[in-house]
Amino acid sequence: MTLLRRQGYWEGEFTAMASPCAVLAEVDTAAEARRLLDIARGEAQRIEARFSRYRQDNIVHRINTSAGQPVEVDDETALLLDYADRCHALSEGRFDITSGVLRRVWRFDGSDRLPEPAAIAALLPLIGWDKVLWQRPRLTLPAGMEIDFGGIGKEYAVDRSALLLQAETRSSFLINYGGDLFASGARHNGRGWQVGLDDPSVTGQGSVGGLEIKRGGVATSGDARRFLLRSGIRYGHILDPRTGWPVPDAPRSVTVVAATCLEAGMLSTFAMLMGKQAETFLAGQHVQHHVIR
């Protein structure tokens, strides 16, 4: 965890959820900045510990190894499940937290090794939020199925950290967990926070234009390096849970600005899942967005 003095603000960095995380705060003292950084880091690590599917000691693991038996979940998990359920309905089944099993067959390493259609077909019976029995607070997952909060976790952590920091300080701050951001308000000079948009072709090295945000969430879906190329067709890594195949003609990346990071994240993910109609979908949502194809 490091703390650096920047032009008019402090920038604290740490790693969580397998991504670089930063908290930029317009506070006067290093002590205050460190305090806010600790709160944000604590929340990010709390959420990672509770909802990451890579760990054996949390509720997600218990659910994924429940072998068809009902599991009683706590309030926070129930709220996340309600949210996933709502997003599943709003996206007509395109956003589905049970689609994680498809990674057993798909490797997006830029090669041309597409999985066998039969292997994909074999996984389809294990995918489908509608196959899950969710009666709060009990969740019954058919044996062999898995859930993954990957599509919600990071944005949820950003918004949660933002709410905690807002209760602690009235000065402006920017939270950035691996590209998912939240800005709490205009800076002292009245301007917003400058946010660079990753150029998907050279992710991490260059940006393709900036964005100034005073208050709200920013999230980006899509990762240019994860794709497959076979006989001239580019297969993006966004998979349609209903077919098990990548969404045809999905953009390389979609960035959305909304009131919260969660909303921005969901809208950008929905847009990617709409493939060809991503731009039309986003136009209908009246949100500031940026699509790169």
Would you tell me which residues interact with another protein (CB under 8 A)?
75-76, 79-80, 82-83, 86-87, 89-92, 156, 159-160, 163-164, 167, 258-260, 262-263, 266-267, 270, 274, 277, 280-281, 283-287
Taking the complex as a whole, how short is the minimal distance between the CB of residue 112 and another protein, in angstroms?
Answer: 32
211 vs 287, which CB is nearer to another protein?
287
Taking the complex as a whole, how short is the minimal distance between the CB of residue 94 and another protein, in angstroms?
Answer: 8
d(CA 276, CA 248): 7
190 vs 284, which CB is nearer to another protein?
284
Taking the complex as a whole, how short is the minimal distance between the CB of residue 210 and another protein, in angstroms?
Answer: 24
174 vs 258, which CB is nearer to another protein?
258
Taking the complex as a whole, how short is the minimal distance between the CB of residue 263 and another protein, in angstroms?
Answer: 5
Q: Which of 149, 152, 150, 93 is nearest to 124 (CA)?
A: 93
145 vs 267, which CB is nearer to another protein?
267
Provide φ and ψ at 280, rounded to 5°.
-60, -40
82 vs 109, which CB is nearer to another protein?
82
178 vs 185, which CB is nearer to another protein?
185
Taking the complex as a whole, how short is the minimal distance between the CB of residue 128 and another protein, in angstroms?
Answer: 17
d(CA 94, CA 100): 13
Taking the complex as a whole, how short is the minimal distance between the CB of residue 207 and another protein, in angstroms?
Answer: 26
Q: Which of 117, 143, 157 is nearest to 22 (CA)?
A: 157
75-90 vs 261-273: helix axis angle to the nearest 10?
40
Calculate the alpha carbon distances from 134 to 7, 79, 142, 145, 161 in Å.
49, 12, 11, 14, 28
119 vs 163, which CB is nearer to another protein?
163
Taking the complex as a whole, how short is the minimal distance between the CB of residue 253 and another protein, in angstroms?
Answer: 19
